[in-house]
Amino acid sequence: MTVKDGTPKPLPKPSEIWTTLNEPWCAQIQPLPAGTVMLINTADPLQFLAYFWTGLLANTALVLTNPSWKQQEWQQVAEQLSPDIVLGEPPPIAFNDSRPRPTPGQILIATGGTSGQIKFVIHTWATLTAAAQGFLAHFKQQPVNCYCVLPFYHVSGLMQAMRVWLSGGTLLVQPFKQLDAGQRQIQPDRCWVISLVPTQLQRLMEQANTIEWLTQFRAILLGGGPAWSTLLTQSAQLPIALTYGMSETAAQIATLLPEEFGQGIRNSGSSLPHVKLEIHHPESSQTQPAGVVGRIALQSSSLGLGYWPNHPLARHQAWFYPDDLGYLDQRNHLHVVGRNSQKIVSGGENVFPAEVVSALLTTGLVQDVCVLGLADQTWGQIVTALYVPATQTLTPQQIKQALNPILSSYKHPKHWQQVDQIPRNAQGKVSRSRVMALLTKPSGSAQGAGDDAGD
């Protein structure tokens, strides 16, 4: 962040922010020696905040982990790290003392869990603060009060706490399951912000009295995956702020303001003040003109230092390419097309799963769905859908018939598998590794083993 004359604005130190906090969990702060490598593993959000500040104030290296991980995930962690102390639940593995040690002040945030390969992005107080200040400047609001229903070990939850701490606001924490059950802790006003993923918003939209409650927020930050057109149409009266970001950038790098959403604009909005955003040619750093799809490229003061232990994020003259394709329009708003690595090439045609998912949800015939490509000798890859039907009598042919007016036939799934539930993590993101496990089971071993009828 900079002030008007271009001079860098000094970042507040953790100790300076700490003096303004008077929350009950502050009493749980524990003294630790500086230089400790500390791993946090707790599902209790208030306990997490206490542990997080314990590490910040002692200038430790912090490792944030998911308390729902099992043996397989923890084994991946043990192959990368060796903490001095674990605060929270002890992991079901032994750590090897010979692993490299993060340096004091580094904050390692896990990512990549949905692919089955866990890696850690290296952040610092400076990168997290830059992201939070960029958010405050983009929304032109202080203080910001956050109604947080997302876990703090994930960047989407942690950054809500950072925005509150830096703006002097209020942080309210509640599990999403309670909110989904109709329990609300406050009546929000225009200083309150809530962050949701599309599937969470869909569940809340099914409750008429909750819709009125959601209209009171300053913004409903909607990210973590593409929202389908019918959901956006249904929520047109809400203060939706469509967002694009990732763990590597400490959450948002582009956000559509609620006022713009109310005008009928449907994209990821403009870049935040701390971000330089461009679209580059697929094979070079040449900037693409407005409307032309290419690689999303960015530079940001919130960009992590790398993947642990020593894999840099930025390359090619300090540009970071997050594996997403998109384009900028004449307003300089970002339109995300889909992940380059998840692109399906079927019969020589490019198919992006996000577009197919949106079309399937638009039909109203499925409650939830995941789309990906499976290897095929004839087509190279075939578009495959794992879906939860809206009715138990639904057939793939009925879905295909409903898709005909809204999606090109070559993008239609050729393989269908009905399931009771799509595997998702705590942030609502699809666990692609678990989806692949379902799809590769022997025929008949899972409900709706498949229907290959198709074009």
Of the three residues 310, 339, 368, the one that is the final residue of a domain is 339
214 CA to centre of own chain: 21
Whether residues 405 and 335 share a domain: the answer is no
DSSP 271-313: EPTTEEEEEE-TTSSPBPPTT--EEEEEEETT--SEETTTB-S
In a domain, 450, yes or no: no
pLDDT of residue 352: 82
Total of domains in the chain = 3
Residue 428: left if φ>0, alpha if ψ -120 to 50, beta else—which one?
left
In a domain, 182, yes or no: yes
Is the CB of residue 368 less than 8 Å from the CB of residue 421?
yes
Q: Where are the extended beta strands (E) located within 43-93?
A: 61-64, 85-88
Q: Which residues partner with 37 through β-bridges?
A: 61
pLDDT of residue 449: 32
How do the pLDDT tens digits run along the chain, 455 residues long? 443 444 456 789 999 999 889 888 988 888 888 889 999 999 999 999 999 999 999 999 999 999 988 888 899 999 999 999 999 999 999 898 888 899 999 999 998 744 558 899 999 999 999 999 999 999 998 899 999 999 999 999 999 999 999 999 999 999 999 999 999 999 998 899 999 988 899 889 988 789 999 999 999 999 987 788 888 999 999 999 999 999 999 999 999 999 999 999 999 999 999 999 999 998 888 999 999 999 999 999 999 999 999 888 876 568 999 988 999 999 999 999 887 777 787 877 778 888 898 889 989 999 999 998 888 777 778 899 999 999 989 999 999 999 998 888 888 999 999 999 998 876 677 887 788 878 766 544 343 333 333 33
Enter the DSSP assignment of 25. Answer: G
pLDDT of residue 9: 65
Strand order in the sheet with 192-196: 171-173, 145-148, 192-196, 219-222, 240-246, 251-255, 270-271
The model's pTM is: 0.81
Whether residues 33 and 46 share a domain: the answer is yes
Supply 279's token pair. 């679209």
Whether residues 199 and 328 share a domain: the answer is yes
In a domain, 1, yes or no: no
Of the three residues 80, 104, 124, the one that is the final residue of a domain is 124
Of 79, 113, 118, residue with least CA distance to 96: 79
Whether residues 335 and 352 share a domain: the answer is no
Listed in sequence order, the residues at least 6 apart from 434 whose beta carbon sits closer than 8 Å to its beta carbon are 423
Whether residues 377 and 401 share a domain: the answer is yes
In a domain, 118, yes or no: yes
Tell me, what CATH number does 232's domain have? 3.40.50.12780
Residue 321 phi, psi (nearest 5): -110, 110
Q: Which residues partner with 86 through β-bridges?
A: 39
Is the CB of residue 193 less than 8 Å from the CB of residue 144?
yes
Tell me, what CATH number does 376's domain have? 3.30.300.30
Which of helix, strand or coil describes residue 55? Answer: helix
Whether residues 365 and 321 share a domain: the answer is no
pLDDT of residue 120: 96
Is the CB of residue 372 less than 8 Å from the CB of residue 434?
no
Whether residues 265 and 411 share a domain: the answer is no
Q: Provide the domain limits for residue 25.
A: 14-124
Whether residues 308 and 182 share a domain: the answer is yes
Of 2, 103, 6, residue with least CA distance to 305: 103
In a domain, 393, yes or no: yes
In a domain, 446, yes or no: no
In a domain, 264, yes or no: yes
Is the CB of residue 70 less than 8 Å from the CB of residue 299?
no
Whether residues 136 and 285 share a domain: the answer is yes
In a domain, 63, yes or no: yes
Residue with the two structure tokens 């047109």: 236
Please, what is the angle between helix 353-362 and helix 396-403, to 10°?
Answer: 100
Whether residues 191 and 118 share a domain: the answer is no
Of the three residues 339, 356, 375, the one that is the final residue of a domain is 339
Whether residues 296 and 384 share a domain: the answer is no
Whether residues 171 and 294 share a domain: the answer is yes
Give the C-alpha separation, 90 to 101, whole Å.
19
